[in-house]
Amino acid sequence: MRYSALSVFLNGLRGNSGWAPAWRQPQPKPHYDVIIVGGGGHGLSTAYYLAKTFGITNVAVLEKGYLGSGNIGRNTTIIRSNYLLPGNNPFYELSMKLWEGLEQDFNFNAMVSQRGVLNLFHSDAQRDAYTRRGNAMRLHGVDAELLDRQAVQAKLPFLDFNNARFPIMGGLLQPRGGTVRHDAVAWGYARGADSHGVDIITHCEVTGIRREEGRVVGVETTKGFIGCGKLALAAAGNSTVVADMAGLRLPIESHVLQAFVSEGLKPFIDCVVTFGAGHFYVSQSDKGGLVFGGDIDGYNSYAQRGNLATVEHVAEAGVAMIPSLTRVRYLRTWGGIMDMSMDGSPIIDRTHIDNLYLNAGWCYGGFKATPASGYCYAHLIARNEPHETARQMRLDRFQRGYQMDEKGVGAQPNLH
Amino acid sequence: MASLITCPHCGQRPKEEFTIKGDASLTRPAPDAGPDVWYDYVYLRSNPKGLHKEYWHHSSGCRRWLIVERDTVTHKVHSVTDAALTKLGGAA
Amino acid sequence: MSNHRLSTGGRIDRTRTIKFSFDGKALTGHPGDTLASALLANGIQLVGRSFKYHRPRGILTAGAAEPNALVTTGAGGRTEANTRATMIELHDGLIARSQNRWPSLAFDIGAANGLLSPFLSAGFYYKTFMWPAGFWEKVYEPLIRNAAGLGKATYEADPDAYEKCWAHCDLLVIGAGPAGLAAALTAGRAGARVLLADEGFALGGSLLTDGDATLTTILAELDALPNVQCLPRTTVIGWYDDNVFGAVERVQKHVALPDPHQPVERFWRIIAKQAILATGAEERPLVFGGNDIPGVMMASAMRSYLNRQAVAPGKRTVVFTTNDAGYRAAADLEAAGVDVAAIVDPRARSDAGWQGKAKVLANSCIVDAAGGKALRSVHIAGASGTQTIEADALAMSGGWSPIIHLACHRGAKPVWSERHAAFLAPERQEGLTIAGAASGHASTSACLGDGARKAAEALAAIGFARVEPTFLSADDTQAAATPFWYVKGSKGKAFVDYQNDVHLKDLGLAVREGYGDVELAKRYTTNGMATDQGKLSNINAIGILAEARGVSPAEVGTTTFRPFYTPVSFGALTGTSRAKHFQPARKSPLHEWAKKNGAVFVETGLWYRSAWFPRAGETTWRESVDREVLNIRKNAGLCDASTLGKIEIFGKDAATFLDRVYCNGFAKLPVGRARYGIMLREDGLIYDDGTTSRLSEDHFFMTTTTALAAGVLTHLEFCAQTLWPELEVHFASSTDQWAQMAIAGPKSRAILSEIVDEDISDAAFPFMSARTVSLFGGNLEGRLFRISFSGELAYELGVPAGYAESVADAIMQAGAKHDICAYGAEALGVLRIEKGHVTHAEINGTVTPGDLGFGRMVSTTKPDFIGKAMLTREGMQAADRPRLVGVKPINPETSFRTGSHILADGAAATLENDQGYVTSSCFSPNLGHTIGLALINNGPERLGEKVMIWNGLRNEFTEGVICSPVFIDPENEKLHA
């Protein structure tokens, strides 16, 4: 059923009784050409592009919880392509371009809102680093603007320009950055993939990977064995748990990142702003809540919950940036499990095990990458060669000495 | 995490006093151990779902590196020992 | 407007009158009132508008779960949106305004949304607003955003203070109702350190409504116990690892003008050995048409307003109940002289043994309530047909849900109990026990007994011997509850989540469209996502989903309980870390010296560093910096280098240790000599650099960069303690103990000779010498290093921090005749770029020693050092890596900036053609043009090549040439002078 203003109108007249399920709830078939482990954003978008763009429709997505129960439903909804390194920048820009046509493509309003992403800087060194970054973006045709203090003040006069411990000097703005209604991305991809014949099987946990003569032939699940031609992991924070089933060690640690939302407010801030002198970034949802976050808690964790010290630090940084926030209230806090890679950049690659593919290491940048990740992963699975924008996102780059370290902090996941 | 870590030298202290480095089960290879062994040490992680031994540094306290044995699912801390004393075979 | 205050009764102080305003109207109330009770007493039922349909809303509850009666309080920087009227203690000068309405509460244009509601069903926005694509940000979204949201937050700075504190206790009791009071009393008598926190301004919980005489006795005894601290107005908001709790105390939220010496809110971090969760139970609304019309209220809330504040909800009430609670409300209403027209009970037979006047309509339901801004009548359907009863107030009770929020913050899953028709949390978890109504008990006596018993058990677990429960356990003779999720056949909208306007049909639609999973239904319909986080709505929604899916509530399960229990202000979580106090300020021991010499300071990490020293007549920073630079190359200058990290390294194995942490050799460094060292990370990339001097056989002195002072020490300790614990080596940071000043320039020796007692001639004290020296004729000992960051003849002198200012003064005085000047970090930056020295602008975490031209420093003979193995990887040795060079403009009149990228001459500006970037740049007053350092692919092989220095971000494109990074004195003649 196609969604449109007309369909909303006609169904409204009929008491909304005519809407069909957005996707089927099928039982698993005995064998699929491709099984994707993980029914989150990346798994679902991979299935969608496999079916729609690359014509591989005999695909199952296996999700151990409910659809979209991982990081796709617990992030801070920001999209941007303000990356520095040549191995990352074209990939995230591909993602941005896909975002820009996504809703019409999968016929689901995911509220892609290009409200602008502004990164503040507070020192000459930060300004210089953002200049380098902005120029890297410009060289690839990505929009970037360097704002001085006056321009930032004109845009966001309620930031602390009078009494800040670390005065705001300016900011790097990506006008095309913004926010997207995160759950809707999962639902839109699920509905789109389903309409192309992909089986989305929820509450089905992978418990083992079956190999014959070394190559992967299927997975053991809580719903029985399911055979496959190719097995594609897209398990985010649980990547190493699943990879372990195939005896594969990964350059990844799982860390908890908290996110927060305030009570609903009338329009307060109209773009995404990142503080440069502490860990805080904020945007406002269409519903009115300020959506904000900070740094990861800093320790390996599989629990989707964080601790108070980080919550307090985020509040302090938030008030340092916007003093009047003191009377705004946190409504809810939650945590997601990040697959932190050893250089802060992701991996989309084949593994040394035949038929086993890996999509992991998204750190806390996975949401914005959802479309390109799915597209490039589908490309890799379908054609057995990396998409041109993901050519450097190789698993062996650490071994070969070609890390992609945007922050330059080295093999220490909790610093990325 | 833990909200609190019981440092063997300083007693129960809040998490904010510590710096976390990560996996303490790794052993630094011999210089000539070969690239695969070194790659494994520097980049690969077991990342267990459950008990995990990790290095925590009491940065705002005694400045000792500790080995914290902690559950990554429940966040329960099972033991905290002084890394150097443990490695030297002494008590901590 | 009529007065709804009863002539007698209640826990209010009628001798005092409080003046407040609502929507500009002056009103009065009494101490003991909440804003909600005072509004009701003044006959005001309409207090707000709902989120989506802008429906008129009244006061539904008397507590923290209130979804409707949200108001904005205060003015200016004290403006506070979305405050629950039910939780605001009435106070003189309180200004409250209704929200989400325009132009007024009574006449709200937004209510037109209600007419469109057939087309605004759950998730309708996911299906439309997609065309044309560009319209979302420009047209649809602004409309949605302006309609959405609740209150308006202020941009004005908050004049009030906040603070944080820590508390430790044996037993934290959360909730001061019967179970909590009994627990606190039991523990208090046993001598335990007890904290008793309750969100209300008065302790007592349901006892305040029930008027139980034991309350006064218990409170008096608790008050007398020195080991019990009572915290009213304190909401425990989260349970964290290791039994740490967060709590917010509303210290001065009940005064219009706070005492500036006290915080308005205090955030507590409570470390409890044991805790009792005695948070009671939440009454569930009933889901029927028009259940949101002002005048419809929870039965328990109606009792609370009657008994605590002597407020009658209306003149003629109807009760709709599935359990005893409705009958208790009816009895209280009749006792207060309020007419109860009927008690409507869907059950065939009630167990309440009703003795009152009101008729009981069994087997009946209220199908629809009628009214606009106030309740007019209810339509009842039952076994004996249908009837309409006029009423201006309706009390409803759909059963009870234990408040288990906190108990589920650490992963525990609620379990459905058929007997209670409610979700319960595990009664005992490590450190936390649930007691009273929160664990499913109903009667006051049962709650008292349960609280006392569980406190005794909790204390026993932490070593308190033989604690006597203060109340005996009582049998809880409650009947099995029958859940009643919604009334069938309602014509009007039957709300489940009031604030977010989620109604029965929305949940049905969610199930039909495949969003029937409780988590998906929440996200699709927004049920439970309002400011009350589903306190009233979640369980009803689960029941409704269960019926629609044909499964039990157990199978549907709950969404996850997340902190916070109720919303917490940024202010409380921030405490005193605001504005200039956001982070600590570090000031060098030479800060005052720099200040009196006119320095301009710049934030560098936590430090304030002197950046330049303007003199009279200088109008730009560049003028000052150029003067300082030229003077140093010609005469001399003094610069504060104290912020560099300083680490004392002791031990017989210190040399061996340093040999392993630096990539170049240190084992053979002679006593009295300094050496530049490069420290790698284990991945082979440069971590930090600095000089390390050998002051004696077993004592080294290391300097680090300012940025990594703490990081390097931590790294050294890691290496020493975990990698090589067998080495005897120890560290002490002396960054704050020693002041360090750089004296640079051709005349520096002459100047220093006047204060240093020893011979510091080139022969006696050559380049890279490092020794303890005597100063001022033996009056002071210092450390002198002949090292140079500027490329000039230069020294660094260390003196104990307390002497810093006097020594600097003495040097300036001695240097006056040599035209010494003070110089800052900016001039230092120019000097080092002219000399091609690197800082963290170049050491950016992605460079190898080879990249920076230090390839030959890396030891090939040492068997091991940190980073050695990984440095050999193919990618780390690739010839085309970006490597350090200098760049300068072809036309010296032109300039360029740091962060510009490098393109080959004539190459198109694409990412593929990107060949590197400028890491540092400055105007060199010695050369008269801009110079820069850059990391350029294969740079050192390309000296003399013409390139484009590309800064598209600023539209600056400069033709440049690659050159040596050493712009001044490449032969080091000045250095060795």
- For residues C611-625, give the mean pLDDT: 97
- For residues C512-533, give the mean pLDDT: 96
CATH number 3.50.50.60 is the correct assignment for the domain at A26-81+83-108+182-251+343-415: yes
Evaluate the CA torsion angle C958, C962, C964, C969 in order and state its sign.
negative
Length reported for chain A: 416
Cα of A103 to nearest chain C Cα, Å? 7
The better pLDDT of the pair C212, C70 is held by C70
d(CA A13, CA A373): 40
B31/C863 touch (CB, cutoff 8 Å), yes or no? yes
Within 8 A by CB and 6+ apart from C940, the residues are C853, C883, C884, C885
pLDDT at C466: 84
Burial (0-12, 13-18, 19+ Cβ within 10 Å), C893: exposed
B35/A240 touch (CB, cutoff 8 Å), yes or no? no
Chain A residue with CA closest to C899: the answer is A132
CA distances from C886 to A287, C883, C948, C962 (A): 52, 10, 14, 6
pLDDT at C134: 83
The tokens of A151 are what?
């321009």
CB atoms within 10 A of CB A57: 17
The tokens of C426 are what?
């595990």
A288/C150 touch (CB, cutoff 8 Å), yes or no? yes
Chain C residue with CA closest to B71: the answer is C241
d(CA C832, CA C850): 19
CB atoms within 10 A of CB C584: 8
pLDDT at B90: 67
Chain C residue with CA closest to A20: the answer is C513
**A177, A116 contact by CB (below 8 A):** yes
d(CA C178, CA A391): 66
Omega before C129 within 30 of 0, i.e. cis: no
**C917, C901 contact by CB (below 8 A):** yes
The tokens of A211 are what?
């190999």
Give me the percent of chain C exceeding a pLDDT of 90. 93
Residues of B with CB under 8 A from a CB of A: 1, 3, 14-16, 20-23, 35-36, 39-40, 42-47, 49, 52, 54, 70, 72-75
A302/B49 touch (CB, cutoff 8 Å), yes or no? yes
pTM of the prediction?
Answer: 0.97
A·C CB contacts under 8 A? 357
C839 pLDDT tier (thresholds 50, 70, 90): very high
C66 has pLDDT over 80: yes
Omega before C103 within 30 of 0, i.e. cis: yes
Q: Which chains touch C (3 or more CB pairs under 8 A)?
A: A, B
d(CA C627, CA C926): 10
**C299, C395 contact by CB (below 8 A):** yes
pLDDT at B92: 47
pLDDT for C652-705, tens place per residue? Answer: 999 999 999 999 999 999 999 999 999 999 999 999 999 999 999 999 999 999
- Chain C residues in contact with B55 by the CB 8 A cut-off are 718, 722
Cα of C691 to nearest chain A Cα, Å? 22
Among A299, A337, A343, which would you mutate to test the B interface (most chain B Cβ atoms within 10 Å of its Cβ)?
A299
- For residues A348-374, give the mean pLDDT: 97
- Structural domains of chain B in order of their starting residue, each with its CATH number: 4-87 (3.30.2270.10)
Residue that has been written with the tokens 């006093």 in this structure:
B17
**Dihedrals φ, ψ of A13, to 5°?**
-65, -30
Cα of B49 to nearest chain C Cα, Å? 15
Residue that has been written with the tokens 């409610």 in this structure:
C422
Q: Measuring CA to CA, which residue among A255, A189, A247 is closest to residue A39?
A: A189
**C449, C292 contact by CB (below 8 A):** no
C2 pLDDT tier (thresholds 50, 70, 90): low
Residues of A with CB under 8 A from a CB of B: 238, 240-241, 249-254, 297-303, 307-309, 342, 398-399, 411-414
User: β-strands C94-97, C18-22: how paired?
Assistant: parallel
A288/C875 touch (CB, cutoff 8 Å), yes or no? no
CA distances from A266 to C58, C117, C568, C821 (A): 21, 22, 18, 56
A336 has pLDDT over 60: yes
d(CA C194, CA C805): 52
* Beta strand spans in C54-161 (E): 56-57, 70-73, 80-84, 94-97
pLDDT for C884-904, tens place per residue? Answer: 999 999 999 999 999 999 999
Q: Which of C242, C683, C718 sits opposite B65 (nearest CB)?
A: C718
Output the average pLDDT for chain B.
Answer: 94
Within 8 A by CB and 6+ apart from A118, the residues are A147, A152, A155, A156, A171, A172, A173, A174, A271, A272, A273, A274
Chain B residue with CA closest to C270: the answer is B3
d(CA A165, CA A317): 11
- Chain A residues in contact with B28 by the CB 8 A cut-off are none
Cα of A237 to nearest chain B Cα, Å? 10
Chain B residue with CA closest to C731: the answer is B63
Angle separating helix axes C538-549 and C504-512, nearest 10 degrees: 50
d(CA A21, CA C513): 4
Cα of B90 to nearest chain A Cα, Å? 27
C238/A308 touch (CB, cutoff 8 Å), yes or no? yes
Q: Which chains touch A (3 or more CB pairs under 8 A)?
A: B, C
**C807, C797 contact by CB (below 8 A):** yes
C220 has pLDDT over 50: yes
DSSP C311: B
Helix (H, G, I), strand (E, B) or coil at C639: strand
B2 pLDDT tier (thresholds 50, 70, 90): low
A254/B44 touch (CB, cutoff 8 Å), yes or no? no
What is the helix, strand, coil percentage profile of chain B, to 5?
20, 35, 45
A·B CB contacts under 8 A? 76
**A249, A92 contact by CB (below 8 A):** no
B52 has pLDDT over 70: yes
Q: Measuring CA to CA, which residue among A265, A270, A155 is closest to residue C141?
A: A270
The tokens of C91 are what?
């106070």
Chain B residue with CA closest to C866: the answer is B31
Q: Measuring CA to CA, which residue among A70, A51, A14, A55 is closest to residue A234?
A: A70
Among B45, B55, B76, which would you mutate to test the A interface (most chain A Cβ atoms within 10 Å of its Cβ)?
B45
The tokens of C617 are what?
């007549």
Burial (0-12, 13-18, 19+ Cβ within 10 Å), C750: middle
The tokens of A58 are what?
């005999």
d(CA C195, CA C317): 41
Among C241, C683, C718, C864, which would you mutate to test the B interface (most chain B Cβ atoms within 10 Å of its Cβ)?
C241
C1 pLDDT tier (thresholds 50, 70, 90): very low
DSSP string, C472-540: ------PPPP------TT-SS-BEEETTTTEEHHHHHHHHHTT--SHHHHHHHH-TT-STTTTTTTHHH
CA distances from C18 to A365, C29, C33 (A): 53, 5, 9
d(CA C716, CA C944): 41
C413 pLDDT tier (thresholds 50, 70, 90): very high
C717/B31 touch (CB, cutoff 8 Å), yes or no? no
What is the helix, strand, coil percentage profile of chain A, to 5?
30, 25, 40
- CA angle at residue A220 from A219 to A221, to 5 degrees? 110
- For residues C603-610, give the mean pLDDT: 97
A135/C519 touch (CB, cutoff 8 Å), yes or no? no
Cα of C65 to nearest chain A Cα, Å? 13
| Cβ–Cβ contact B21 with C under 8 A | yes
Contacts of range C218-227, beta carbons closer than 8 Å, 24 or more positions apart? C218/C181, C218/C182, C218/C185, C219/C181, C221/C185, C221/C188, C222/C181, C222/C184, C222/C185, C222/C188, C222/C196, C225/C188, C225/C189, C225/C194, C227/C188, C227/C191, C227/C192, C227/C193, C227/C194
Q: Which of B35, B44, B75 sits opposite A251 (nearest CB)?
A: B44
- Chain C residues in contact with A23 by the CB 8 A cut-off are 514
pLDDT for A134-183, tens place per residue? Answer: 999 999 999 999 999 999 999 999 999 999 999 999 999 999 999 999 99
d(CA A234, CA A222): 18
CATH number 3.40.50.970 is the correct assignment for the domain at A117-176+254-340: no
A315 pLDDT tier (thresholds 50, 70, 90): very high
Q: Which of A101, A132, A320 sits opposite C582 (nearest CB)?
A: A320
- Chain A residues in contact with C530 by the CB 8 A cut-off are 264
* Domain assignments of chain A as residue spans, ordered by start: 26-81+83-108+182-251+343-415, 117-176+254-340
Amino acid letter, residue C557? G
d(CA A98, CA C866): 43
**C853, C965 contact by CB (below 8 A):** yes
- For residues C851-860, give the mean pLDDT: 97
- For residues A232-244, give the mean pLDDT: 98
Q: What is the ipTM, given to two decimal places?
A: 0.98
B69 pLDDT tier (thresholds 50, 70, 90): very high
- For residues C108-114, give the mean pLDDT: 88
- Chain C residues in contact with A132 by the CB 8 A cut-off are 898-901, 917-918
pLDDT for C121-142, tens place per residue? Answer: 999 999 999 888 889 989 999 9
| Cβ–Cβ contact B44 with C under 8 A | no
**C301, C329 contact by CB (below 8 A):** no
Q: Measuring CA to CA, which residue among C373, C376, C499, C377 is closest to residue C108?
A: C373
B·C CB contacts under 8 A? 66
- Chain B residues in contact with C244 by the CB 8 A cut-off are 3-4
Output the average pLDDT for chain A.
Answer: 97
Give me the percent of chain C exceeding a pLDDT of 70. 99
C480 has pLDDT over 80: no
d(CA C937, CA C73): 61
